[in-house]
Amino acid sequence: MSWKQNLPAVRGKLLVDEALAPFTWFRVGGPADVVFLPADEQDLADFLKALDPAALVLAIGVGSNLLVRDGGVDGVVIRLGKGFNTVEALGDNRIKAGSAVPDAILARKAADAGIAGLEFYAGIPGTVGGAAVMNAGCYGSETVNVIRSARVMDRQGNVREISGDQFDFTYRHSALQGADLIVLDAIFEGTADEPSEIKARMRAITERRETTQPIREKTGGSTFKNPPGHSSWKLVDEAGWRGRPYGGAMFSPLHSNFLINTGEATAADLEGLGDTVRADVLAKTGVQLEWEIKRIGRAE
């Protein structure tokens, strides 16, 4: 792995053989060959342009919907942070946010600017970059409804802008998945409303989330996509998996579509439980559950 001994100079941080568990909400997973925390967009571009083309590259957000397998991840994992967390109201009910901006912060800044339509982001624990890539949504709204464009960087460090219709959004999916592109920032558009009214709706979303989801557990959020005509939580519940231990993993007693690490789980426990439940639900109902949580890396 000669590229690992010849890493480009950076202004950010390069962490070699770095454990990825602290970078995910599940708090499990093996190491990455390299973790890169770029100082800003130029630092990221310079690094990618100089990095050996043989090195694999994967960008992650805050790890709220991510499961890293116990054997770790080959190549460079890029975690965007402070250099990508600005928010700017643009006028005409538009707002621009960096990839590392938490979705809840985007919702709050939009509310401060009197921009309605982004309230649902108050209920999503991820970041703007992840929301754009997976068409994040909840409570009847999705990213596809409000995103207008995004700037992305390719593996060679080149930047381009893509418009909303180029995302090819479907349920929890976009054309960015698997496209080897890193989201830098995005522009969203809502409608005008009084900030107090917007914030009242956000409070209702936050209160609902706090009472119905295990937000203080080590969890990856919604585990399975909802199949057409079905609710995943109900299928998991009716198959008898709510609150049933599997190693150190469990589907939450509070919300049965939330996979949780009860304290000492391995990634194998979590993924094994998920796949076991998928097989059980399929056998009992004929309905195929699809993972919503992104799973990366090698099994140990």
Where in the sequence numbering do the catalytic residues fall?
172, 222, 292
For the chain, how many helices (H) and strands (E)? 6, 18
Q: Are 60 and 66 in contact (CB under 8 A)?
A: yes
Q: Which two tokens stand for residue 78?
A: 């890029």
Q: Is 281 left (phi over 0), alpha (psi -120 to 50) or beta?
A: alpha
Is 69:272 a contact under the CB 8 Å cutoff?
A: no
Query: How far separated are the first and last CA of the chain, in Å rounded?
Result: 20
CA dihedral 198, 107, 91, 188 (to 10 degrees): -120
Q: Which of 131, 133, 129, 108 is nearest to 118 (CA)?
A: 108
List % helix, strand, coil for the chain (3-state, nearest 5).
30, 30, 40
What is the enclosing helix (H) or strand (E) of 31?
strand 31-37
The conformation of residue 253, written as its DSSP 8-state character, comes to S
Q: How far is it, in rounded angstroms, from Cα 207 to Cα 127?
A: 20
Query: 40 phi and psi, to 5 degrees?
Result: -165, -175
